[in-house]
Every structure is written in structure tokens, then in C-alpha cells.
């Protein structure tokens, strides 16, 4: 049963435990850049096992942070994941909180990352 995304929303300046776990953080980070990724693509990208990815992805899905679409290609099932609006917002808040904890955050923001550390107001890139 999917729970509402903001049902367990962390208080300001607190890290969302759902995102803080390394693999779940990886899933959300990858889906911020790519509009959608298949299970296999995510597994290879994050270098994890089927079982681990499956469990962690399901937790994000239950929280409403990602959306999973299942279909069959021939006889093989194919799961495709997308980031939901709630997931994007949660990751943005997570990054904001995390960045606030880093004293020299400006130095990191100055890197060439096309990612979370560029700009404070809209830190996440939009998938094209």
C-alpha cells in the first residue's frame, strides 16, 4: 500500500531516512538526470544486485518517490522507473539540508557537476 509522500516528511534541517540510504539515494540521483531507467540499467549503473535494487526501489515506490511501470517485452517482464514530483521535491529538500551542513559548500558548488550542487534555488537538473 503506497503511503502519501509527505506523510513522513522530515522536519526542517533533518535528513529524510528514506533517501539517506546509499542505494536509494543513488536511484533518485540517477532518475533526476534520466527521465526513465529500466531495472537493468539502474542495476548496472549502481552496481548492485537484483534483490537489493528490487527491495530499495520498492521502498521508494511505496513512499511515492518513484513510479514503476511494468510491461512485458516478449515473455520477459520489464520494469521502468521514473522520478515522481514528490521524489524530486524530497531529493531537493534532502540536498538543501545536506548542503546546509557543509561549511565550505560554495567550494563544492563551484565544481563542474551538472547536478545537485549547482545553484541553490533550483539545484536539480531537469531530465530532457
Partner 1 sequence: MVELPSVKSVSENLQYIRRTMEAAGQFTAVPGKSMAAVGVAALGGVAANEFLTGAPWSEPHAPALALDVWGIVLALSLAVVGLGVYRKAELMRMPIQAPLIRKLLWGLCPALFLGAVLTNLALATHEFAWLPAIWLGCYGAAIASGGQVSIAPLRYLGVCLLLLAAAAALTPAHMGLTWMALGFGWLHLLFGAYIAWRYHG
Residues in contact with partner 1 by CB under 8 A are 10-11, 14-17, 20, 22, 25-26, 29-38, 40-41, 44-47, 95, 98-99, 101-103, 108, 111, 113-117, 125, 128
Nearer to partner 1, 46 or 67 (CB): 46
Burial of 24 (0-12, 13-18, 19+ CB in 10 A): buried
Nearer to partner 1, 5 or 30 (CB): 30
Q: State the CB neighbour count (10 A cutoff) for residue 36.
A: 14
Rounded Cα distance, 112 and 105, in Å: 14
**Closest separation between CB of residue 78 and partner 1, Å?**
11
**Closest separation between CB of residue 123 and partner 1, Å?**
10
Query: Kind of pairing, strands 66-73 and 36-38?
Result: unpaired
Rounded Cα distance, 7 and 9, in Å: 6
Nearer to partner 1, 102 or 120 (CB): 102
**Closest separation between CB of residue 104 and partner 1, Å?**
8
Rounded Cα distance, 47 and 52, in Å: 10
Nearer to partner 1, 21 or 84 (CB): 21
Amino acid at each position: 500500500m503506497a503511503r502519501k509522500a509527505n506523510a513522513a516528511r522530515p522536519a526542517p534541517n533533518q535528513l529524510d531516512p528514506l533517501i539517506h540510504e546509499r542505494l536509494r539515494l543513488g536511484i533518485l540521483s540517477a532518475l533526476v538526470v534520466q527521465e526513465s531507467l529500466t531495472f537493468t540499467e539502474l542495476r548496472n549503473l549502481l552496481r548492485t544486485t537484483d534483490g537489493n535494487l528490487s527491495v530499495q526501489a520498492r521502498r521508494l515506490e511505496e513512499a511515492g518517490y518513484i513510479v514503476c511501470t511494468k510491461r512485458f517485452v516478449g515473455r520477459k517482464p520489464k520494469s521502468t522507473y521514473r522520478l515522481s514530483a514528490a521524489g524530486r521535491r524530497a531529493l531537493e529538500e534532502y540536498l538543501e539540508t545536506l548542503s546546509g551542513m557543509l561549511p565550505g559548500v560554495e567550494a563544492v558548488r563551484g565544481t563542474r557537476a551538472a547536478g545537485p550542487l549547482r545553484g541553490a534555488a533550483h539545484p536539480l537538473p531537469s531530465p530532457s
